[in-house]
A and B are shown apart, each in its own frame.
Chain A
Amino acid sequence: MKTVDLVVIGSGAAGMAAAVEAKKNGVDDILILEKEERLGGILNQCIHNGFGLTEFKEELTGPEYLQRFVDQVKELKIPYKLNSQVIDLSKDKVVTYSNKEDGLVKIQAKAIVMATGCYERNAGAIMLPGDRCSGVITAGTAQRYLNINGLMVGKRIVILGSGDIGLIMARRLTLEGAKVLCVSELMPYSAGLNRNIQQCLIDFNIPLYLSRTVSKVVGKNGRLEKVILSAVDDKLQIIPGTEMEFECDTLILSVGLIPYISLLNYIDCPTSSTRGAVVNQYMETMVDGIFTAGNCLHVHDVVDFVSDEARLAGRSAALYLQNKINNSENKINIKPGNGLSYVLPQFILENSLEDIVIKFRVRRPVQDQIVWIKSGETVIMKQIKPVMIPSEMVMIKIAKDKLVGIKEDIVVSLEDR
Chain B
Amino acid sequence: MKQIHDVLIIGAGVTGTMIARELSKYVLDVVILDKNNDAGDATSSANSAIIHSGYDPEPGTLKAKFNVLGNAKYPKLVEELDVPFIQCGSLTIAIEDEQLPVLKELAERSKINGVPVQLLNKEEVLKMEPNINPEVKGALFAPTAGIIDPFNLVVHAMENAIDNGVTFLRSQEVLDIKKENDVYKVKTNKDEFYAKIVINAAGVFSDKIAQMVEPIDWAITPRKGEYFLLDHYADGLVNHTIFPLPSKKGKGVLVSQTSSGNYIVGPSSELASPDDVSTDGETLGNIRRAATLMVPSIPFNQTIRVFAGERATCTRHDFIIEYAKSDKNFINVAGIESPGLASSPAIAEYVVETLVRPLITLKSNPKFNPCIKKYHRMHYLSEEEQQKAIAEDSDFGEIICNCEHISLGEIKEALSRSCPPVSIKGVKRRTRSGYGKCQGGFCQPKVLLLLAKHYGVSPTEIPLAEDGSYIIDHEIKEAK
A residues adjacent to B (C-beta < 8 A) = 35, 83, 85, 87, 98-104, 119-120, 122-125, 127-135, 137-138, 140-141, 144-146, 148-155, 176, 216, 220-223, 249-250, 258, 260, 262, 265
Q: Complex formed: what's the CA distance from A260 to B233 in Å? A: 13
B142: shortest Cβ distance to chain A, in Å? 31
Interface contacts (Cβ under 8 Å), in number, total 146
By a CB distance below 8 angstroms, the chain B residues around A35 are 399, 402
CB pair B441 A125 closer than 8 Å: no
Does B455 belong to the interface (CB within 8 Å)?
A: no
Q: How far is the CA of A176 from the CA of B308 in the complex (A)?
A: 35
Whether A223 and B277, one on each chain, are in contact in the complex, defined by CB atoms closer than 8 angstroms, is: no
Cβ–Cβ < 8 Å partners of B442 in chain A: 119, 141
17 CB-based A-B contacts, threshold 8 Å? A35-B399, A87-B399, A98-B386, A103-B386, A103-B394, A104-B397, A120-B441, A122-B441, A124-B303, A124-B306, A125-B439, A127-B284, A134-B470, A150-B475, A151-B476, A153-B471, A223-B468
**Contact A141-B445, Cβ < 8 Å, known A98-B399, A130-B278, A220-B275:** yes
Are A103's CB and B390's CB within 8 A? yes
Residue of B nearest to A118 (CB): B438
Interchain nearest-CB distance for A84 vs B (Å)? 9
Q: Which residue of B lies closest to A265 (CB)?
A: B233
Q: Give the complex CA separation of A87 and B387 in angstroms.
A: 14
Within 8 A of A (CB), among B29-88: none
B399 with A129: CB separation less than 8 A: no
A103 B387 Cβ-Cβ under 8 A: yes
A104–B394 contact, CB under 8 A? no
By a CB distance below 8 angstroms, the chain B residues around A258 are 437
CA distance A394 to B446 in the complex (A): 37
Q: How far is the CA of A118 from the CA of B459 in the complex (A)?
A: 27
| Contact A141–B468 (Cβ < 8 Å) | no
Nearest residue, chain B, Cβ from A258: B437
CA of A153 to CA of B449 in the docked complex: distance in angstroms? 14
Complex formed: what's the CA distance from A35 to B284 in Å? Answer: 36
**Of the residues A123, A124, A153, A262, contact of B472 by C-beta under 8 Å:** A153
8 tightest CB-CB pairs across the interface, nearest first?
A222-B468, A124-B305, A222-B469, A85-B399, A134-B464, A134-B469, A103-B390, A100-B394
Report B-chain residues with C-beta under 8 Å of the C-beta of A83: 398
Q: How far is the CA of A265 from the CA of B390 in the complex (A)?
A: 26
A132-B280 contact in complex given A149-B445, A220-B275, C-beta closer than 8 Å? no
Determine if B220 is an interface residue (Cβ-Cβ < 8 Å): no
CB–CB A85/B402 < 8 A: yes
Within 8 A of A (CB), among B433-480: 437-442, 444-445, 449, 459, 463-477, 479
CB < 8 Å neighbour of B467 from A132, A222, A260: A222
Chain B residues with Cβ below 8 Å from A85 are 399, 402, 405
Residue of B whose beta carbon sits closest to that of A42: B442
Q: Which of B277, B304, B469 has the most CB of A within 10 A?
A: B469
In the complex, A140→B441 CA distance in Å? Answer: 8
Distance between Cα atoms of A87 and B404 in the complex (Å) = 9
A262 touching B277 by the CB < 8 A rule? no
Contact of A129 with B441 in the complex, beta carbons under 8 Å: no
Once A98-B399, A99-B397 are accepted as A-B contacts, the answer to whether A131 and B278 lie under 8 Å apart by CB is yes
CA distance A132 to B407 in the complex (A): 26
Across-interface contacts of B350 in A (CB, < 8 A): none
User: Contact: A155 with B397, CB < 8 Å?
Assistant: no
Q: Is the CB of B277 within 8 A of A132?
A: yes
Chain B residues, Cβ within 8 Å of A216: 278
Decide yes or no whether B106 CB sits under 8 A from chain A: no
Query: Would B476 and A150 count as touching, CB distance under 8 A?
Result: yes
Closest residue on chain A to residue B302 by CB atoms: A125
Least CB distance, A26 to chain B, in whole angstroms: 32
- CB nearest neighbor in A for B280: A129
Closest to A155 in B: B473
- Nearest residue (CB) in B for A237 is B281
Q: Does B260 contact A (CB under 8 A)?
A: no
| A103→B381 CA distance, assembly (Å) | 14
Q: Which B residues lie at the A interface, using CB under 8 A?
A: 229, 233, 275, 277-281, 284, 303-308, 383, 386-387, 390-391, 394-395, 397-399, 402-403, 405, 407, 437-442, 444-445, 449, 459, 463-477, 479
Evaluate contact between B445 and A120: CB separation under 8 angstroms. no
List, in ascending order, chain B residues with CB within 8 A of A130's CB.
278-280
In the complex where A104-B386, A119-B437, A262-B403 touch, is A145 in contact with B469 (Cβ < 8 A)? no
Q: Are A101 and B394 in contact (CB under 8 A)?
A: yes
B304 touches A124 (CB 8 A): yes
Give the most central of A130, A155, A223: most B CB within 10 Å: A223
Provide the bound-state CA to CA distance between A260 and B442, in Å. Answer: 12
In the bound complex, CA of A219 to CA of B314 (Å)? 27
Q: B475 near A151 (CB under 8 angstroms)?
A: yes
Give chain B nearest CB distance to A193 CB in angstroms.
Answer: 22
How many whole Å from A370's CB to the nearest CB in chain B? 33
Name the residue on A nearest B460 (C-beta).
A151
**For residue B394, which residue of chain A has the nearest CB?**
A100
User: Would B387 and A222 count as touching, CB distance under 8 A?
Assistant: no
- Contact of B463 with A134 in the complex, beta carbons under 8 Å: yes
Q: Which residue of chain A has the shortest Cβ distance to B276 in the bound complex?
A: A131
Tell me the bound Cα distance from A104 to B379 in angstroms. Answer: 12
Residues of B within 8 A of A154 (CB): 473
> Closest CB-CB distance, A29 to chain B, in whole Å?
24
CB pair A152 B278 closer than 8 Å? no
Please, which residues of chain A bring their CB within 8 A of the CB of B307?
Answer: 132
For B395, give the chain A residue with the smallest CB separation: A100
Q: Tell me, rounded to whole Å, the shortest Cβ–Cβ distance linking A377 to chain B.
A: 36
> CA separation between A249 and B473, bound complex, in Å?
9
CB distance from B211 to the nearest CB of A (A): 23
Flag if A127 contacts B303 (CB, 8 Å).
Answer: yes
A137 touches B471 (CB 8 A): yes
A152 to B437, CA, bound (A): 24
B279–A127 CB distance below 8 A? yes
User: Which residues of the partner chain A approach B472 to less than 8 Å between Cβ atoms?
Assistant: 145, 151-153
Chain B residues contacting A102 (CB-CB under 8 Å) are 397
- Kindly provide the distance from the CB of A128 to the nearest chain B CB, expressed in whole angstroms: 8
Please name all residues of chain A whose beta carbon is closer than 8 Å to the beta carbon of B303 when the two chains form the complex: 124-125, 127
Give bound CA distance, A59 to B445, whole Å: 29
Question: Complex Cα distance A133/B275, Å?
Answer: 12
Return chain A residues, CB-CB under 8 Å to B477. Answer: 150
Instruction: Specify which of A83, A98, A146, A176 lies most central, judged by the most chain B CB atoms within 10 Å of its CB.
Output: A98
Report Cα–Cα, A260/B446, bound state, in Å.
Answer: 19
- Given A103-B391, A127-B284, check contact A222 B441 (CB 8 Å): no
What's the least CB distance linking B272 to chain A, in Å? 12
Give the CA-CA distance A272 to B84 in the complex, in Å. 34
Q: Is the CB of A133 within 8 A of B441?
A: no
Which residue of A150, A151, A220 has the most chain B CB atoms within 10 A of its CB atom?
Answer: A151
- Minimum C-beta distance from A88 to chain B (A): 9
Contact of A134 among B275, B407, B465 (CB under 8 A): B465
Please measure, in the bound complex, the distance between the C-alpha atom of A117 and the C-alpha atom of B277, giving whole angstroms: 34
Say whether, besides A141-B444, A144-B445, A151 and B438 are in contact (CB < 8 Å).
no
A141 touches B474 (CB 8 A): no
Residues on A with beta carbons closer than 8 Å to the beta carbon of B275: 220
A49 CB → nearest B CB, Å: 20
